[in-house]
Structure 1
Amino acid sequence: MAWVSLFSGGKDSAWALHRALDDGLPVARLVTVHPDEDSFLYHVPATEIAGLAAESIGIELLEIESSGHEGTDSSARGDAELEPLERALRELDADIDDGLTGVVAGAIESEFQTSRIEAMCERLDIDLFAPLWQRDPRTLADAMLAAGFEIRVIAVAAAGLDESWLGRTLDAEAFDELEGLNDDYGVHLLGEGGGFETLVTDGPQMERPLKLDYKTEWDGVRGRLRITDAWLGDS
């Protein structure tokens, strides 16, 4: 048996990986897709850090470049962005002894993303493990914190989220504030839909924490951390 886990370095993919390992799934590869800045399908910021995270986790990383086609509608772009991933998994299925068993994904509520991954798995005749799918967001958030996840906000793009959130570590107090922002502005507690993006800098699956140097970029409406250096700290 061999599973692959889609891995951006963000909290959702990291939690899906943690759940897979905790359930005893033999994850043979992490798979990081490096998309265009305006991806319709994938987590975008700081995917270049995934290699360091994979080193800390101790699972081999497969990296894939993906882009949509300009001028096409969202559905066609999503399909186009998926093609390099499906092609790479088909090749990996042929290379691994006895082939791939399944894919681990961190989807929560996005039908746009999940329907495409499900269809891809059907075409490849492999299983899909999506442990976050349609789970209560606060339950997921509390479980991540209880497991020891250190989660850093690296991009914000939603009303109610200002520059002070950039670089902030998400703890119970931060999630309480996000629940209030959900009531006031509709901000999803876990950033679903791109309201904010995260990077897991430490967790139970990591032997060593991620350390970052960065600059903050803020245009008055949205912003991100521009990571200038990253390394693994002491265990």
Structure 2
Amino acid sequence: MTWVSLFSGGKDSAWALYRAQQEGLDVGRLLTVHPTGDSYMYHTPATHLAGLAAESIGIPLVEVEPDSFGAHDVVDAGAQGDAELEPLEAELRRLAEEPGFDLTGVTAGAVESEYQTSRIEGLCDRLGIDLFAPLWQRDPGTLAEEMLDAGFEITIVQVAAAGLDESWLGRTLDADALAELRRLNEEYGVHVLGEGGEFETFVVDGPHMARRIELELATEWEGTRGHVVVEDARLE
């Protein structure tokens, strides 16, 4: 009975993996989808670092790099989400056919996105597998506190929301940052976990990792949003 963890290297997917391991689920693969541009379904920044994370975690990584998700002519958001799911489903079907690989289910880090979760649930129904989504419908502030209490070291790699300026790029999501995010939630509606794309993260260390990932970063700021540029990344 083998599980696949849908994994971007960000805090939510890493937390879903960690909680699955705590529950005793046999996670045999990490699976990262590398979007070629903006995506409705997937975390996009810094996914090229997933390989380093997988090496530290000690679980083999499967990477999916579709050219355009088959969605280049799609203008409807729902249809695009369906199209973006196709390469993920194809890869899971391939894994399920591997000799000795008994695909039982997938883990996912969705918190409040019905758009994403409903599609992953549909995928699981079609494949006849289970879904483990330990963040789903949980209080965002409580989840963030649990991540920090567990020892997750979380780096902010992209921001795109009122109240989040260039100083947030490369910042560690710690107790002080969480307190500021709660204030920004009250003032601007910024989601405390960035579920609406307000910010994106990468986990550089945690209890599920054997070695910390050291990052050397620059930043690119575009007036109202920005992202980090990874100049170097290595396992300590």
Whether the TM-score (by the shorter chain) exceeds 0.5 is yes
Question: 2:43 aligned with 1:32, yes or no?
Answer: no
Determine the structure 1 residue equivalent to 2:48. Answer: 48
Q: How does 1:156-195 map to 2 (within 5 A)?
A: 156-195=159-198
List alignment gaps of at least 5 residues for structure 2: none
Question: 2:222 aligned with 1:219, yes or no?
Answer: yes
Give 1:149's match in structure 2, choosing from 149, 152, 165.
152
Q: Secondary structure at the match of 2:197?
A: coil
Give 1:70's match in structure 2, choosing from 72, 86, 101.
72
Deviation at 1:213, TM superposition (A): 1.4
Q: 1:98 to 1:170 in 2, by over 3 A?
A: closer
Deviation at 1:173, TM superposition (A): 1.1
Deviation at 1:90, TM superposition (A): 0.4
Write the deviation string for residues 106-163 of structure 1: whole angstroms up to 9, x where unpaired. Answer: 0100011000000000000000000000000111001000100000000000011000
Q: How does 1:127-146 map to 2 (within 5 A)?
A: 127-146=130-149
Q: Secondary structure at the match of 1:82?
A: helix
List alignment gaps of at least 5 residues for structure 1: none
Q: Distance in 2 between matches of 1:169 and 1:98?
A: 37
Deviation at 1:36, TM superposition (A): 2.2
Determine the structure 1 residue equivalent to 2:13. Answer: 13
Deviation at 1:229, TM superposition (A): 1.4
4+ long deviations beyond 6 Å: none
Question: 2:25 aligned with 1:22, yes or no?
Answer: no
Deviation at 1:71, TM superposition (A): 4.0
Q: Secondary structure at the match of 1:95?
A: coil
Q: 1:98 to 1:41 in 2, by over 3 A?
A: closer
TM-score, normalised with respect to structure 2: 0.97
Q: Distance in 2 between matches of 1:226 and 1:79?
A: 30
Q: Is the 8 A contact 2:218 2:231 kept in 1?
A: yes
TM-score, normalised with respect to structure 1: 0.97
Residue 28 of structure 2 aligns with an amino acid whose one-letter code is: A
Q: 1:95 to 1:112 in 2, by over 3 A?
A: same
Q: 1:41 to 1:92 in 2, by over 3 A?
A: same
Q: Distance in 1 between matches of 2:170 and 2:14?
A: 18
Q: Distance in 2 between matches of 1:37 and 1:196?
A: 16
| Percent of pairs with identical residues | 66
Determine the structure 1 residue equivalent to 2:120. Answer: 117
Write the deviation string for residues 174-213 of structure 1: whole angstroms up to 9, x where unpaired. Answer: 1110000001111000001110000000000100001111
Q: What is the number of equivalent residue pairs in this alignment?
A: 233
Q: Distance in 2 between matches of 1:51 and 1:171?
A: 24
